[in-house]
């Protein structure tokens, strides 16, 4: 089940025809393509006989320097791949094409980065960056190479490169920045204002980190979402009385819809934009058909979160100690989960919704497919007395794992991240963060993802002219490959 062939040196300036290897009835190729923001690794797997793409794989890949004795074969290849999968420090590859990192915003104005895949009793701290002030929002570029953070008190946006986690750029703005949103194509960062005195959005070119446009929209703080693949940008805010529409390519305001004052949340769910006001009115805008519907809720709405698939939304009503459920497709609210102390946000795995509390209480979970039933039940997850962080404006205090079947939760009391299994009532494990008290977290997933049938890609950091030896595991028990 093991093949061995050396990967040739790549010289993209002269052009490169991919090397193709045949093994176990499959054609396998790995190429590195130059891109403006850095090389892209692409793994292509097809059926050797039919040429059809092999879909649904979970590949893991590493690059070593060329060995003196030629490519690894047989048991030596399998042993090397197993070493890399186990994540020991001594066995690390020169280039890891499937790394997972946990990025944490701590309450002492630091950003810490830990590697949960190192095979040690204590998780390895990979980076610690001291920030110049409190972060209002942070967002990751789609290619994972840049992390953007807004610092309102300094009127700055920081650009952090995620290979070494150093500050690549510091962008000084005329108004305090708040909400951040990267366009779906990754080309522009849209920056909302943090306060009432901020009246414009700033648009930053992510290729050269400079402000290229300012769009007047009215008083902040602003919330920003995209539709139509980024060709339409929508802006709302608590002091704005309109939902403002901006043409993405031209960056020009093209219209507005009256929504009233007191907007606390603007979210996108499928074909719908949901605008929630503090007084309980939720308006649903179908961005494809242009229709509008209203869903009346009790006053006191503080936040909306939308589940994957875009059908269900959850409205936080902390004063009422409840979370109302909204069926976006039917523009109705079938009910609410009550008795929840200070509900703050809802985070989703593939099949479950988790309701988090600002009071640090244990989270409640509900299966998404149960929401269409008459009386969906909320189940409580035991965190063994471990409190959860308050993400607040700086982001989420819990995020789904890369596979969508686990949940990573920041715990300030333990200075750790607790890992929950989807649908399970207890903890799977913990990841230590010994340098700060976390208040928000984000995952940086550098693994190969299927971008097209049978084609798996990720951003890569390497010298394209150097020869490399590929170590590959396609998952599903297919076996180890060394090329």
Can you give the CATH number for the domain in which 121 is found? Answer: 2.40.128
Q: Which of 261, 282, 299 is the last residue of a domain?
A: 261
Please state whether the predicted TM-score (pTM) of the whole model is above 0.85.
yes
> Measuring CA to CA, how many Å separate 393 from each of 197, 306, 344, 359, 365?
18, 17, 11, 16, 23
Q: Answer yes or no: is 321 within a domain.
A: no
Most confident of 5-19, 136-150, 352-366, 460-474: 136-150
Measured distance CA(286)–CA(274) in Å, rounded: 9
Whether residue 88 is predicted with pLDDT greater than 80 in this model: the reply is no
Q: What is the pLDDT of residues 246-280, one digit of tens each?
A: 999 999 999 999 999 999 999 999 899 999 999 99
pLDDT for residue 17 is more than 80? no
Distances (CA, A) of 417 to 106, 115, 263: 12, 12, 32
Do the strands 263-269 and 137-140 form a parallel or antiparallel pair, or are they unpaired? unpaired
Neighbours of 442 (CB within 10 A): 18
Do 28 and 39 fall within a single domain?
yes
Tell me how far apart the alpha carbons of residues 188 and 172 are, in angstroms, rounded to a whole number: 17
| pLDDT tens per residue across span 188-206 | 999 999 988 999 999 999 9
324 CB-contact burial (10 Å; exposed 0-12 / middle 13-18 / buried 19+): buried
Q: Count Cβ atoms below 10 Å from residue 68 Cβ, excluding itself.
A: 5
Distance CA 243, CA 282 (A): 13
pLDDT band, very low/low/confident/very high, at 11 (cuts 50, 70, 90): very low
Domain count, the chain: 3
Rounded Cα–Cα distance for residues 472 and 195 (Å): 50
- Residue 90 has phi, psi (to 5 degrees) of -70, -20
Last residue of a domain, one of 242, 261, 280: 261
Same domain, 249 and 135: yes
Same domain flag for 118 and 84: no
> Rounded distance, CA 150 to CA 158, Å?
6
Coil/strand/helix, residue 64: strand
CATH number of 153's domain: 2.130.10.10
Backbone dihedral angles phi then psi of residue 299, each to the nearest 5 degrees: -65, 155
* 5 belongs to a structural domain: no
* Residue 416 DSSP label: E
**d(C-alpha 300, C-alpha 317), whole Å:** 5
* pLDDT confidence tier of residue 36, bands split at 50, 70 and 90: confident
Q: Classify residue 184: in a domain, yes or no.
A: yes
Which residues on neighbouring strands pair with residue 322, listed in sequence order?
317, 338
- 156 with 72, same domain: the answer is no
Rounded to an integer, the average pLDDT of 288-315 is 95
> Are 362 and 381 contacting, i.e. CB atoms less than 8 angstroms apart?
yes
Model confidence pLDDT, tens digit, residues 375-407: 888 998 876 555 555 545 566 788 999 888 999
Query: Over the chain, what is the mean pLDDT?
Result: 87
Q: Do 369 and 471 belong together in one domain? A: no
Instruction: Identify whether 266 is part of a domain.
Output: no
Structural domain range at position 456? 20-96+448-482
Look at residues 121, 126, 127, 113 and name the one whose alpha carbon lies nearest to residue 88.
Answer: 121
Q: Whose CA is closest to 227, among 241, 210, 247, 207?
A: 247
Cα separation, 201 vs 189, in Å, equals: 10
Does residue 333 form part of some domain?
Answer: no
Give yes or no for residue 12 having a pLDDT over 50: no
Q: How far apart are CA 134 and CA 59, in angstroms?
A: 38
Closest CA to 137 of 214, 224, 203, 199: 224
Is residue 424 domain-shared with residue 369, that is, in the same domain? yes
Residue 153: which residues within 8 A CB-CB, separation 6 or more? 133, 134, 176
Q: Does residue 314 form part of some domain?
A: no
- How far is residue 302 from each of residues 90, 259, 262, 310, 320, measured CA to CA in Å? 49, 16, 10, 20, 11
What is the pLDDT averaged over residues 143-151? 96
Shared-domain flag, residues 388 and 420: yes
Look at residue 69 and tell me whether its pLDDT is greater than 90. no
* 212, 231, 261 - which closes a domain: 261
Q: Where are the beta strands (DSSP E) in 173-291?
A: 177-182, 188-193, 200-205, 210-216, 222-227, 232-237, 242-247, 252-258, 263-269, 272-277, 281-286
Residue 186 has pLDDT above 70, yes or no: yes
Pair (74, 176) in one structural domain: no
Rounded Cα gap, residues 32 and 420, in angstroms: 36
Same domain for 421 and 476, yes or no, is no
Domain annotation covers residue 54: yes
Confirm whether 394 is domain-assigned: yes
CA angle 159, 163, 165 (to 5 degrees): 50
Asked whether residue 252 falls in the same domain as residue 144, the answer is yes
Q: Is 318 helix (H, G, I), strand (E, B) or coil?
A: helix
24 and 109 fall within a common domain: no
92 and 136 in a single domain? The answer is no
CATH number at residue 74: 2.60.40
């Amino acid at each position: 089940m093991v093949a061995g062939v050396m990967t040739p040196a790549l010289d993209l300036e002269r052009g490169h025809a991919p090397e193709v290897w045949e093994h176990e009835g499959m054609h396998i190729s790995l190429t590195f393509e130059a891109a403006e923001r850095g090389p892209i690794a692409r793994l292509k797997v097809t059926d050797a006989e039919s040429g059809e793409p092999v879909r649904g794989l979970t590949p893991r890949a590493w690059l070593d320097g060329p060995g003196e004795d030629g490519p690894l074969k047989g048991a030596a290849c399998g042993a090397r791949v197993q070493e890399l999968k186990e994540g020991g420090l001594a066995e690390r590859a020169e280039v890891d094409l499937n790394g997972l990192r946990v990025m944490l915003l701590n309450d002492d104005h630091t950003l810490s980065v830990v590697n949960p895949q190192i095979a040690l009793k204590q998780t390895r701290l990979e980076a610690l960056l001291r920030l110049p002030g409190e972060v209002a929002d942070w967002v990751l570029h789609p290619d994972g190479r840049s992390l953007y953070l807004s610092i309102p008190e300094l009127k700055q946006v920081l650009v952090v490169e995620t290979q070494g986690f150093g500050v690549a750029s510091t962008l000084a703005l005329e108004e305090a920045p708040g909400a951040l949103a990267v366009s779906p194509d990754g080309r522009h960062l849209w920056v909302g204002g943090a306060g009432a005195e901020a009246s414009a959005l700033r648009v930053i070119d992510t290729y050269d980190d400079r402000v290229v446009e300012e769009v007047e929209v009215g008083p902040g703080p602003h919330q920003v979402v995209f539709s139509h693949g980024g060709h339409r940008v929508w802006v709302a805010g608590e002091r704005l009385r309109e939902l403002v529409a901006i043409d993405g390519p031209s960056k020009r305001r093209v219209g507005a819809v009256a929504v009233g004052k007191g907007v606390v949340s603007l979210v996108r769910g499928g074909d719908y934009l949901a605008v929630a006001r503090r007084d309980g009115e939720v308006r649903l805008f179908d961005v494809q058909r242009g229709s509008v519907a209203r869903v009346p809720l009790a006053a006191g709405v503080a936040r909306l979160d939308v589940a994957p698939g875009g059908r269900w939304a959850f409205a936080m009503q902390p004063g009422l100690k409840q979370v109302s459920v909204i069926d976006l497709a039917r523009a109705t609210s079938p009910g609410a989960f009550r008795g929840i102390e200070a509900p703050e946000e809802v985070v989703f795995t593939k099949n479950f919704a988790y309701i988090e509390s600002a009071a640090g209480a244990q989270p409640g979970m509900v299966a998404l497919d149960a929401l269409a039933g008459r009386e969906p039940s909320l189940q409580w997850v035991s965190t063994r007395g471990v409190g959860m962080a308050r993400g607040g404006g700086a982001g989420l205090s819990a995020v789904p794992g890369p596979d969508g079947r686990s949940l990573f939760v920041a715990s300030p009391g333990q200075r750790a991240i607790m890992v929950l299994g989807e649908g399970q009532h207890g903890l799977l494990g913990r990841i230590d963060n010994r340098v700060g008290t976390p208040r928000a977290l984000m995952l940086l997933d550098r693994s190969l993802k299927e971008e097209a049938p049978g084609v798996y890609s990720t951003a890569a950091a390497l010298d394209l002219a150097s020869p490399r030896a590929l170590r590959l595991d396609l998952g599903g028990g297919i076996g180890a490959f060394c090329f």
